[in-house]
Each structure stands twice: as C-alpha cells, then as structure tokens.
Amino acid sequence: MAKQLYNQPSPLETRVVSKRFALEGSETLDVYLANDGYKAFRKAREMTPEAIIEEVKTSGLRGRGGAGFPTGLKWSFVPRTSPKPRVIVINADESEPGTCKDRLLMEYDPHQMIEGILIAGLAVDAHVGYVYIRGEYRYLIDAMDRAIDEAYAKGYLGKNVAGTGFQFDLYTHSGAGAYECGEETALLDSLEGKRGVPRMKPPFPAVAGAWAMPTLLNNVETFSAIPPIIRDGGAAFAALGTPKNGGTRLVCISGHVNKPGVYELPLGFPMMKAINEVAGGIPGGKKLKAVVPGGSSCPILRAEECDIPMDYDTLAKVGSMLGSGGMVVLDETTDMVRFALRIMKFYAHESCGWCIPCREGTTWLKKILQRFYEGQGRREDISLLGELSKNMLGRTFCALGDAAALPTISIVEKFTEDFEVYLARQEVLV
Amino acid sequence: MTFSPQLEERFAKMLTRYPEGRTRSAVVPMLMYAQDEVGAVTKELVEEVARRCKVTPLQVDEVVGYYSMLHRKPQGKFHVQVCTNISCLLVGGEELYEHAKKKLGIGHKQTSADGQFSLEEVECMGACSWAPAVEINYDFHHFVTPEKLDQLIDGLRKAQ
C-alpha cells in the first residue's frame, strides 16, 4: 500500500524539496542516503565557504519564513572569522495563520534539513545548531530528536560528520506557545530562556544573536532547499523560478478549495492556476472573492487582482507579499467583517505587549471590529479602522504591528461594501 | 523535587546543550516537559526549575506568564484544543468550537468536574490545509467534523 500523505500530490507540482516525501521510510537516514542524501555536503566540503555562499546567492533563494530576504546575502553577513563561536538557529516556530509546510519537511525529510544545516555550518564556520520548534509540535520535536539521534549514531552529526573531520552538534529546543517567537530576535530571547520579545536592531543576529554570538537564523524550508542547490548548482535551482525569485516553494493552500493541501510549486506559478487546477477550484461552483496570498499578515487581494504569477516581486507590485506561503482562498459568501475580526483577535492575543502602538492598536482594532460584527458599528468606524491601522505602521520593534495593520487596511479599503452591508442592516432594524 | 527517571535523563542532557553558563536557556523546554508530568506549573515547580537552571524563581515566573501553553492550574486529562483561526474559520472551525463547548459542557480554558476534559479555543496550530483542526494533548486531528469530534471524545471517555 502506498504511503498515506496529508494530501494527494498534484501532477502540476515541481517536487524538489518534497521529492522524497512519498517514499516509504523517507524519514530515515538510510532512505535519505539512497536518494541523493549527503552528496551536497560532500561537495560543499570540497568548496570554500565563499564558493558555498556564492552558490546560494546564484540560486536566488529567498527566506521561506516570511520576509523573503535573500539567503546568500544573509549568510554573507555572518562574520566567520569572529573570535566568538558562530551559532545556527533553525526557525521551526511555524505559526503564521495559513502556514503548515515546515511540519511536512520535518516529518517526512528531517535529514534533508540536517544536511542543509551542516552546509550552512561549513559556510559560516559554525559547529552548533538549535532547532527551535513550537511547543504544539511535540510530535515533531520527537521526530527531529529521532532523526538527530540516528544521525549521531551513524556518524552524520558529532565530531566527524560523514567522515570528513567536520564537527557539528545539533539539538532541538521546545517553544511554549507564542506567535511572537517566530520573529527572529524574539525567538533568540526565547531560546535564551526569556519572554519572547523583539530586540532593537542593529545589532542584527548575524553579528550578535543567540547569547550575543554571531547567529545564522533561517526557516526550516530555507535550510531544506540548500542540499538540492549545492548538489545540482544554484543556477539549476534559479532556473526553476523567475529572475530574482529562484526555485520552488511549498505553497499551503487552504480555505474554500476542493483539494486543500501543501504543494511544491515553482516561483512565478500562476495564482489562478494554483487555485483552480492544483487545488481543484472552489467548491459548489462559487465565485472567488479574495485571496490571502502568504499568511494572515499579507494584505488581501480581491479576486480581480489574482491573475498574477506568484513571486516575491509581483506580489510586492500589487501591494502584498508572498510571506510564508500560506495561501488562503475565500469564496463569494465570505463575510469580510467576520474575517477581519478573526485576524485581529489573533494579533491582539499574540501581541507581546512590548511596543505600545501594537499592544494598544491591536486591542482597539479588535474592539471596533467586534462592535461592528455585533451590529453596533458606526459609519465613522470604517475610516477609524484605517486610520488606527496606519498609525501602527513602522512604529514597532518588530513586524507584528505591521502584520496586524496591513491586512486590516486592505480589507477595509477593498471590501468597504461588506462593512456597508452591516450599516444598512442596522438601519433597517432602527 | 524529583521527576521520573526518563525526565531526569532528559533534563540532565538538556542542561549540557547550551554554551557554558547559559543554563537559563533550558527554562522554557524544562517547564514544558515538567508540566506534563506534574500537571501544572506549581510554585514548587517554578522553584525547582529555577534551581536547576541557576536563575531566580522570578525569572522563571515571568516566563510562565508569557507563554500560552504554560498553565498554573491543572488541565483535564485530555486537553481539547480547537482552532478557529482563518483557515479553520472558513471551513467551520467556529461552529466546531461551539459544538465542543456543548458536548463537553465547558467553556474556554475550563475543565470538566471530573477532571477528564478541558477545552481551549486556540490560535493557528499549523494544520491549515487539513482544516478544521483539533489537537488533543499533543495529537493532531484533521478535517474534524462535529460527528468526528463526538466520536473522538466518546472514544476517550470509553477508554477510561
């Protein structure tokens, strides 16, 4: 019997980081080694650190956590000759609403991520790494621990990685339920045993990160993309995507579609094709109303804005983001007031309270949206929501304030008619 | 305070993972695992973790107040977490949560009188493409309908 996956793969996928997912025993080192495992590490061991970083730059890989920062450039910021030891931190705090891909990478192919971490270790001369996994993913902490134990037992972690004399230690670290800890500096505070609140930048983590040591921090999917890049060359990976948007990425499609799932698609894949063909279209023949392109923090797109290729630059051009790859599809029946309220309840709950514009802003936005939803809205609330949100933008340590404000601004501006419906209903009642 | 041998072994290893003098880093994971065994983060546990990690009890206490998975009161033997965030919302997550409230006869962060079940409306837990999702203790359940939730809960009740 074939392996039971979370969702059926689509023939339209380009499976690079997910190519081993369907293999029986894909989580074991033996299956990994039999299917291209550690070819990239051995190749990287023969390369200079500069050449490794150059290859990653060539690949056009951009951070898969949400911000989309060019990975090779990030690696080049880590001072490999610093007298302080370098640390690698893997962000497995996947919490952005709409996003459920890192789970699969750790469950189905943990050794690919480990190999990517080891290559990063060669590039920045680091010898220790911590996988920060959200507390809710306990079964994945166990799965990663098993993979790490197996790698130690068979000589792929520890004093002599793959017999090459390279030393590297890797550990898991459990979070305890806090969206904010997905923000890199808050994650570092959490890793140090503190409340996860963001730090002032600079200094950036590359210079002073975990325990004030130079720290290379990337998302699970970013590390998982490294072995194929080194093995087949950065140019080959880049060619899968569009210029400056290299490779493939895992797109998590959820909401009103017939076949929700996580699919690996090349950058630049048409959004409408992803909805209608990969995810099987909208149930009941209903019309598309809107799409959240990359997790709840991204400004929402109206249906008529969705006829675009999915890459970082195109999404930026239409005023949104590709974010973390969490694509949420909304059909014509969706009540945008209710949707905006649920988003804001989330941010108000998750604001760490460190910066006042975020702490107070999210709370007030939630109250106003709640009032509206309960039929107590006022016409001036519509502009007040926009005004309050805009006052939060850029006035906080981390991006959570913007993450709460941006979708709200877009919903209020693009779906004013949904708010009007509430006002009209109230008038009838009066 | 002593823990089970398995947990003692885990903690001994945990304290060696971080750079020298950085045992404070073990505070959050140690609390997470100890809480599962003790049932809640008690005052005694705070002091014990502080002692082991070489920090003050206050430094542990402030962490307990921050993270949503750390709790000072015991939860039910089965902690039912229903997600109502956007992806779940669109496919019936809120209705599922309302159903769970009725089925269990308890509300958000409440525990049933017999101590068997507790309920929590939770934020996104990373199961968006298989929504609506429920996590019971650390086990994920996907595409959960009210009927499926009833079966899950009845099954757990029967297993008592």
The answer to whether B91 contacts chain A (CB < 8 Å) is yes
* Residue A340, H or E segment: helix A336-350
A182: how many CB neighbours lie within 10 A of its CB?
27
Distance (Å) from the alpha carbon of B29 to chain A's nearest alpha carbon: 5
Please name the fold of domain B78-158. Answer: Glutaredoxin (3.40.30)
CATH 1.10.10.1590 matches B5-64: yes
Report d(CA B27, CA B17) in Å as an integer.
Answer: 12
Report d(CA B63, CA A174) in Å as an integer.
Answer: 14
Cβ atoms of residues B44 and B82 within 8 Å: no
The answer to whether B7 contacts chain A (CB < 8 Å) is no
* Alpha carbons within 13 A on the beta-carbon side of A12: 18
User: What is the reported pLDDT for A303?
Assistant: 98
Report d(CA A342, CA A322) in Å as an integer.
Answer: 21
Select the residue of B29, B66, B126 nearest A94 (Cβ to Cβ): B126
The answer to whether B59 contacts chain A (CB < 8 Å) is yes
Provide, as residue numbers in chain A, all residues whose Cβ is less than 8 Å from the Cβ of B85: 97, 296, 342, 346
Place A3 in a pLDDT band, splitting at 50, 70 and 90.
Answer: confident
How confident is the model over B20-42, as pLDDT tens digits? Answer: 999 999 999 999 999 999 999 99
Strand A301-302 versus strand A288-292 pairing type: antiparallel
3-state secondary structure labels for all residues of A184-208: HHHHHHHHCCCCCCCCCCCCCCCCC
Place A133 in a pLDDT band, splitting at 50, 70 and 90.
Answer: very high
Q: Closest residue of A to B135, CA-based?
A: A136
Nearest to B91 by CA among A292, A260, A103, A6: A260
The string of DSSP codes covering A76-131 is HTS-TT-SSPEEEEEEE---STT---HHHHHHH-HHHHHHHHHHHHHHHTEEEEEE
User: What is the reported pLDDT for A119?
Assistant: 98
Query: Are B90 and A254 a contacting pair at CB < 8 A?
Result: yes
Query: Are B140 and A349 a contacting pair at CB < 8 A?
Result: no
How confident is the model over A197-218, as pLDDT tens digits? Answer: 999 999 999 999 999 999 999 9
SS3 at position A213: coil
The whole-chain average pLDDT of chain A stands at 96
Instruction: Determine the average pLDDT of the residues in B91-100.
Output: 98
A–B interface: beta-carbon pairs under 8 A: 149
Instruction: Determine the average pLDDT of the residues in B130-157.
Output: 97
Nearest to A11 by CA among A306, A381, A264: A264
Q: Is the pLDDT of residue A2 over 80?
A: no
Query: Residue ranges of the domains in chain B?
Result: 5-64, 78-158
Best probe of the A interface among B9, B11, B28, B52, by most A CBs < 10 A, is B28
User: What is the reported pLDDT for A46?
Assistant: 97
Report d(CA B50, CA A244) in Å as an integer.
Answer: 48
Provide, as residue numbers in chain B, all residues whose Cβ is less than 8 Å from the Cβ of A326: 87, 128
Q: Is the pLDDT of residue A406 over 70?
A: yes
User: What is the reported pLDDT for A160?
Assistant: 97
Query: Are B87 and A94 a contacting pair at CB < 8 A?
Result: no
The answer to whether B10 contacts chain A (CB < 8 Å) is no
User: What is the reported pLDDT for A301?
Assistant: 98
SS3 at position A278: helix
Domains for chain A: give ranges and CATH numbers. Answer: 29-240 (3.40.50.11540), 248-331 (3.10.20.600), 336-429 (1.20.1440.230)
How confident is the model over A224-251, as pLDDT tens digits? Answer: 999 999 999 999 999 999 988 889 999 9
Q: Closest residue of A to B53, CA-based?
A: A193
Q: Is the pLDDT of residue B157 over 70?
A: yes
ipTM: 0.97
Best probe of the A interface among B70, B86, B97, B140, by most A CBs < 10 A, is B86
Q: Is the pLDDT of residue A118 over 90?
A: yes
User: What is the reported pLDDT for A329?
Assistant: 98
Query: Are A194 and B63 a contacting pair at CB < 8 A?
Result: yes
Q: Closest residue of B to A297, CA-based?
A: B86
A146-157 as b/e, with b when 16 or more CB fall inside 10 Å? ebbebbeeeebb
Cα dist. A300→A281, A306, A322, B34 in Å? 19, 10, 11, 41
A279: how many CB neighbours lie within 10 A of its CB?
25
The reply to whether B5-64 and B78-158 are identical in fold is no
Block residue for tokens 């971080």: B18
Distance (Å) from the alpha carbon of B154 to chain A's nearest alpha carbon: 23
User: What is the reported pLDDT for A80?
Assistant: 93
Q: Is the pLDDT of residue A1 over 60?
A: no
Provide, as residue numbers in chain B, all residues whose Cβ is less than 8 Å from the Cβ of A179: 123-124
* Single-letter code of the amino acid located at A18: S
The answer to whether B26 contacts chain A (CB < 8 Å) is yes
Spatial neighbors of A344 by CB under 8 A, at least 6 apart, are: A362, A365, A366, A369, A404, A408
* Residue A379, H or E segment: helix A379-392
Instruction: Determine the average pLDDT of the residues in B103-127.
Output: 97
The string of DSSP codes covering A383-403 is HHHHHHHHHHTT-SSSTHHHH
